[in-house]
A and B are shown apart, each in its own frame.
Chain A
Amino acid sequence: MANTTNTADASQDAFRAAEEAAGGLPQLELSTFPNQIFWLAVTLVVIFFVLSKVALPRIASVLAERRGTITNDIAAAEDLKAKALEAEETYNKALADARTEAAQIVADTKAEIQADLDKAIAKADAEIAAKAAESETAIADIRAGAEEAVKAVAKDTAKEIIAALGGKADGRTVTSAVTARMKG
């Protein structure tokens, strides 16, 4: 007990000495400590309540809201991207369909034209064949006609030659002779 009072006295003395010293360190002036501690306590309590009741929940909510907005925006962007991909796919599909259709039409048309062409060619061939046959008969006729004419001419000529030579041409003999010659 006595000891504590002694130390208290000693600290009091030191304190007085410190106060009396004009250039003493203001930080060690114990008389101002209660004042500083009191106002510090007030300040800390005020700051603590301002921060914990108003500022920090508000900032936390703003940050959470921002995170939510960003997440939503990203989700929306992703949605739009998916939609765009889908649209592109549809477009590609339509394009491919149109291509196959066009190819189909081309093939069909080609086949049709080919068929028409074939038919026309066949018809033409038939016509040509008919004409050829006709011509052949005509040629054969002409050839036969020509043979007859040649025969007649040869007979006449032979008769004339015989007559000219002074003979008497027997019609039957001349004819058979000419025919035999012509065959030979």
Chain B
Amino acid sequence: MAAEAAGPSGLQIHPMDQFMIKPLFGNGEIAFYTPTNVTLWMALAIVAIVVLMVVGTSSRAIVPGRRQSVAEMAYGFIYKMVEDVAGKDAVGFFPYIMTLFMFIVFSNFLGLLPMSFTTTSHIAVTAVLAMLVFLGVTIIGFVKNGVSFLGLFWVSSAPLALRPILAIIEVTSYFVRPVSHSIRLAGNVMAGHAVIKVFAGFAGAMGIGAILPIGMITAVYALEVLVAFIQAYVFTILTCVYLKDALHPSH
């Protein structure tokens, strides 16, 4: 609808084309097992993670090299976050939280390569990540605390008359969590990439002398590098916050 408005003679900008999912081989129907560009870029994310976390630490050096330092820094960063935010008893969930962080941060950064495909810009991907966290946290909450987990919604420090209203707000915000959790990541990544594409379209239309759009692309790109990390950080820290609610539901 949007692109149709621009006729063949008009400005041809398709900022959303970069998010198209295409089969890697041929041009057929996309079944669930078809290798697509999603598969390719997720596989590259796995390769990058393996290179950093496994190959980089293979020397087990006491005085670490550059790659081992980065791997240890990532480990310490997430470990400390889990310990500080979710509590000491949440350390058992550290490998899964580390998986989430590494996947998101590498997908975001690989998505910043020109001509690449950003897996985390897709709501389907982030929604699955967020739903895994949401369902996992809810199940952990009920398993660890039983029915008293529902005390999370009953704010005992508030006046009695306010508590039912607060309970409604708390329940609503609880169920909105996976939505905001997933849309935040996908929305940020998608918006940034689309903005870059729009400026790239301007630059293409202006040809030589497109200094302003190229400057804007550079600026937005720098912002996107920041956003790529911060969104991974925010996703991870919110996971820790939700996990803390599940482990210690007292308000």
Q: Do chains A and B touch in the complex (CB under 8 A)?
A: yes
A-B CB pair tally, cutoff 8 Å: 136
Beyond A26-B21, A55-B53, A58-B57, whether A66 also contacts B102 by CB under 8 A is no
- Tell me whether B19 and A59 are in contact (CB under 8 A): no
- B27-60 interface code vs A (CB 8 A; 1 in, 0 out): 0001111101011001101100110011001001
Beyond A31-B30, A35-B30, A38-B32, whether A43 also contacts B42 by CB under 8 A is yes
- B117-152 interface code vs A (CB 8 A; 1 in, 0 out): 001011111001100100000000000000000000
Beyond A23-B4, A51-B53, A54-B54, whether A36 also contacts B95 by CB under 8 A is no
Beyond A35-B32, A39-B42, whether A27 also contacts B75 by CB under 8 A is no
Contacts of B57 in A (CB 8 A): 55, 58-59, 62
- Tell me whether A59 and B72 are in contact (CB under 8 A): yes
Interface size class of B (residues with CB under 8 A): 35 or more
Contacts of A62 in B (CB 8 A): 57, 60-62, 64, 68, 72
- B69-98 interface code vs A (CB 8 A; 1 in, 0 out): 001100110000000000000000011101
Beyond A24-B1, A47-B49, whether A39 also contacts B75 by CB under 8 A is no
- Interface positions, chain A 31-70, Cβ under 8 Å from B, are 31-44, 46-48, 50-52, 54-56, 58-63, 65-66, 69
- B96-114 interface code vs A (CB 8 A; 1 in, 0 out): 1011001100000000000
Check: B2 CB closer than 8 A to any chain A CB.
yes
Check: A1 CB closer than 8 A to any chain B CB.
no
User: Which chain B residue lies CB-closest to A57?
Assistant: B95
Contacts of A60 in B (CB 8 A): 75
- Tell me whether A32 and B124 are in contact (CB under 8 A): yes
B243 to chain A, nearest CB (A): 16
Interface residues of chain A: helix, strand, loop or mixed (majority): helix
Check: B226 CB closer than 8 A to any chain A CB.
no
Check: B186 CB closer than 8 A to any chain A CB.
yes
- Tell me whether A27 and B186 are in contact (CB under 8 A): yes
Contacts of A22 in B (CB 8 A): 3-4
Question: A interface vs B, CB < 8 Å?
Answer: 21-29, 31-44, 46-48, 50-52, 54-56, 58-63, 65-66, 69
